[in-house]
Structure 1
């Protein structure tokens, strides 16, 4: 292959597409430790931007309003809700968590009645229950630390999305300057592919939205029969957390388990955790792949395989980004799957 032929290949659109994809992959790899913040920022910005468009469209039927002002009100409401929730529920949550841990720590395990079965009696008397409970308590503290780290990422992402929404037109104007630069061809590819990615991500988010509704309704019905208080508030909390795959479900276990313990003790905690595990399995392995298959017009088999592979490399965020990335690659290869 001579120099001229090599130069022509480097100028070809396929090489340019491959180069664009390599840049994106490299950026993902370099920033993998910051992936939570960036994906949360994208997710929050996408949701608030969609809400902003819907509200602005309705308000402008009555009077003209700048969409930045609508964004200000949206973020103001969000921050007020967060501050109010922390003020009202955080002290109660901390107290109940400490009460649960204290009760588990001081529980007299020798008084457990094993008389119902000689076999169970033999097993339990030779198992150091207290040891496993204390180890479980340590895992709870680790989980709480992870939740704290996720909370920090969420707040950072919320602030980043706020600055983007407030300066959206300045940001877009700055990005458009690359259109006339020496890498204008790269700008063109990124623009087209990002449009495709955002469109497919919107479809994924619609599916996740349906999953969140189903999950919150099922949870409300279940906790209603367990005689929980503040059912609607808990339902809203579960709905919001359900928008975040897997992690949201894990986080929702904490407040539900605390209230379950307060209402019915350890038995209710077991019921809540069993319900969440079974229902989450139904959503993850049946409902979500089916919804995705319908939305993006791909076979359920491919949806399932893609979700498994991308989840392995990107973690829980792969469940949200897997299908858009797969469609992104199909667009890159000019595969017509419509």
Structure 2
């Protein structure tokens, strides 16, 4: 009995018990996991960037947060007003490019016709129209729910960033409660995971944005149609480490082949190679400095396993989760930076 009590009182044992408690809470709240993760990501990005601006320009923290969210809202409405119509027009032009692709390569058109006759797609649609209608309505509901989750997470992150100092003081009260060691471990584990998740997502966003801008410029020079649609696709898939590049290569190659032929595809591959060499030898060394970066095989295995366990979220947060556990067991612990700049945030003005 004495050995068991000594085992429970060990610091590492209490730490892992706190981790199990956190995981249990997340399992209970799994239906709200998307809102939780989005709120964490938005809050991290807003607090860390507001802190950098406030520290560099000596501005009040609250003013910077308000200005930051105001800029985001203005950019969002400008995108809806000017960019969205162009995206819709370019997206509606994609079927014409696909049709031109089939006309240019009749052999592929023949294979498509054979598949159409073999599977009798029209009869399948007629026979299963109720299922297809329900599936389409389910897709619309899913998109609507996703938009609501993003808006709710953005609002929660705004409130959290604005009241960050008060929230920190409230959280520190648990360290003087009847269970200070438990909450200390929860505080440390939660802070470490949020720092890793936020820093990895922030770097991935920067890399995806730079790559998307360079790719849009390159696609425009190569006269690839629907460049803005392709740019949005590249940016979204760019949030998936390594695998996103391979996935985006398929639609890009098909559209380029339809518009510019085999030589256009070759030019596209040269463009992608140049941009990703620039990413590998310049962006990653500068932006990923002091961050945990996994080997390529481990990254692919992580994406496959995490996608199976967590769905689409696993493709985005799978690498940060593995980095967190590597840090927990003491592997690559020194490679993780302190991206939240907590010490500087504390020096900012309080709400």
- The normalised TM-score by structure 2 is 0.65
Q: Tell which has more relative contact order, 1 or 2 (C-alpha 8 A, sep 6+).
A: 2
Query: Distance between the aligned counterparts of 2:121 and 2:261, measured in 1?
Result: 19
- Aligned pair 1:13/2:3, yes or no? no
Q: Distance in 2 between matches of 1:212 and 1:90?
A: 18
Alignment length, in residue pairs?
304
Which residue in the other structure is 1:180 paired with?
A: 176
In the other structure, the counterpart of 1:79 is: 73
Q: CA deviation at 1:160?
A: 0.9
Question: CA separation in 2, counterparts of 1:322 and 1:18?
Answer: 20
Residue aligning to 2:307: 311
Closer/same/farther in 2, CA of residues 223 and 28 from structure 1, 3 Å limit = farther
**The residue matched to 2:211 in structure 1 has which SS?**
helix
Tell me the residue number matched to 1:149.
145
Query: SS of the residue aligned with 1:296?
Result: coil
Does 1:131 pair with 2:121? yes
- Please give the alpha-carbon distance, in whole angstroms, between the structure 2 residues aligned to 1:240 and 1:152: 21
**How far off is 1:207 after superposition?**
4.3
Q: Does 1:190 align with 2:186?
A: yes
Consecutive unaligned residues in structure 1, runs of 5 or more:
none
Does the aligned pair in 2 maintain the 1:204–1:324 contact within 8 Å?
Answer: yes
Q: Deviations over 1:65-104 (max 9, x none)?
A: 3111111011111112222333445566667767988x99
Alignment-derived partner of residue 158 in structure 2: 162
Cα distance in 1, alignment partners of residues 227 and 207 from structure 2? 23
Tell me which residue corresponds to 1:333: 329
> Residue 54 of structure 1 aligns with which residue?
52
Task: Indicate the SS of the match to 2:158.
Answer: helix
Aligned match for 2:64, one of 66, 70, 74: 70
The residue number in structure 2 matching 1:23 is 21
Q: Contact 1:245–1:317 (CA<8 Å) still a contact in 2?
A: no
DSSP 3-state at the match of 2:311: helix
CA distance in 2, matches of 1:205, 1:330: 17
Q: Assess, with a 3 A threshold, how the Cα gap between structure 1 residues 150 and 303 changes in structure 2: closer, same or farther.
A: same
Gaps of 5+ in 2: 126-131, 335-351
1:118-168 Cα deviation digits (max 9, x unpaired):
x965x5554437937x97x98888656544432222111111110111111
The 1:152–1:297 alpha-carbon spacing in structure 2 relative to 1, beyond 3 Å, is closer
Does the aligned pair in 1 maintain the 2:8–2:14 contact within 8 Å? yes
Q: Quote the Cα distance in structure 2 between the aligned partners of 1:226 and 1:141.
A: 36
Q: 1:124 to 1:78 in 2, by over 3 A?
A: closer
Aligned-residue RMSD, C-alpha: 4.9
- Going from structure 1 to structure 2, the CA distance change for 1:327 and 1:165 (only over 3 Å counts) comes to same
TM-score w.r.t. the length of structure 1 is 0.68
